[in-house]
Amino acid sequence: MTESHGGEARIIDFKAAAERVRLEAAADAGRLKADHGVTPGLAVVLVGDDPASQIYVNSKGEKSREAGFHSVTHLLPASTPQDQLIALVHTLNADPKIHGILVQMPLPRGLDEQAVIAAIDPRKDVDGLHPINAGLLGSGRPNLIPCTPLGCILMLRETLGDLSGLNAVVIGRSVLVGRPMAQLLLNDSCTVTIAHSKTRDLPAVCRQADILVAAVGRPQMVKADWIKPGAAVIDVGINRVPFRDPVKAAAGKTKVVGDVDFKPASKVAGWITPVPGGVGLMTVACLLRNTITAASRIEGIYADALKSG
């Protein structure tokens, strides 16, 4: 994939992959229930009324119910005090019907995200953000992995095969995506660079990448001339920007774009993910996968028949 590339990039099909992962999770949920009397339980907590977060939470609840999970959603007002939120987390930790807990981020101003994450039982931390799970991933012994990076690494393996020795650049160093993504690539024997706002000559760094993961949250920041011909480009960004059409812009309408300038980039890259319709589709599917993993471990079930465990 280091050779020059001509023509349009191949689209990495996250839609089909997400459907496969969801079907595997549903099949595993059925086996857990039929063979062990266990129904995987997922609790999602949303604090506040952020519209984007509401959409994500609704999707997670819907997909988990479709997969045969016990699904619970807790909707709390933005004024919820810290101690009340942590008390709810402790209640869910102790609930034997709940195997996975996800507190939707970001939290409203005034709430301590790190304290809330630390309160979650790491065995039930299906978002993979607890310090224990982050430490296990960093030491090469992953337990529960953040859903978006997990979806990305699964797709890279499916698309490229063996990743050993490839140069990977991750733009962004967040605990949700950038850092765990880099750890997963390193665990697959890539040579990994984490780039960020302080990186000198960022375009030149990106041009060294066989795998380029953009997770910086800046619309269309990554230009075509930043990309090595034939590289695999994973765009994690979800940014709302005004339409260029003055009528739509005047009406306050927005569209969703990624961190990569897609059309020009697709003429250089070998593989690329679209936004929307890309990485986000796998995030919910991997949440289901993580919940199956958590349920089987908590219940002491390590059957080889569980494909997604």
Q: Residue 300: is its pLDDT beyond 50?
A: yes
| Backbone phi and psi for residue 147, each to the nearest 5 degrees, phi listed first | -65, -45
Q: How confident is the model at residue 308 (pLDDT cuts 50, 70, 90)?
A: very low
Q: How confident is the model at residue 170 (pLDDT cuts 50, 70, 90)?
A: very high
Q: Tell me the C-alpha distance between 133 and 135, whole Å.
A: 5
Q: How confident is the model at residue 5 (pLDDT cuts 50, 70, 90)?
A: low
Q: Provide the pLDDT for residue 106.
A: 87
Amino acid, res. 23: L
Non-local CB neighbours of 31 within 8 Å, separated by 6+ positions: 303, 305, 306
Q: Tell me the C-alpha distance between 291 and 61, whole Å.
A: 13
Non-local CB neighbours of 201 within 8 Å, separated by 6+ positions: none
- Please report the domains of the chain, with CATH numbers, ordered by start residue: 36-123 (3.40.50.10860), 146-280 (3.40.50.720)
pLDDT in tens, 260-285: 999 999 999 999 999 988 888 899 99
Q: Residue 190: is its pLDDT beyond 60?
A: yes
Q: Is the dihedral of CA 215, 218, 219, 224 positive or negative?
A: negative
pLDDT in tens, 128-167: 999 999 999 999 888 899 999 999 999 999 999 999 999 9
pLDDT in tens, 223-234: 999 999 999 999
What residues does 44 pair with on adjacent strands?
Answer: 73, 102
What is the DSSP-derived secondary structure letter of residue 217?
-
Q: Residue 216: is its pLDDT beyond 60?
A: yes
Q: Residue 58: is its pLDDT beyond 70?
A: yes
- Residues assigned a catalytic role: 60, 104, 127
Greater confidence (143 vs 211) lies with 211
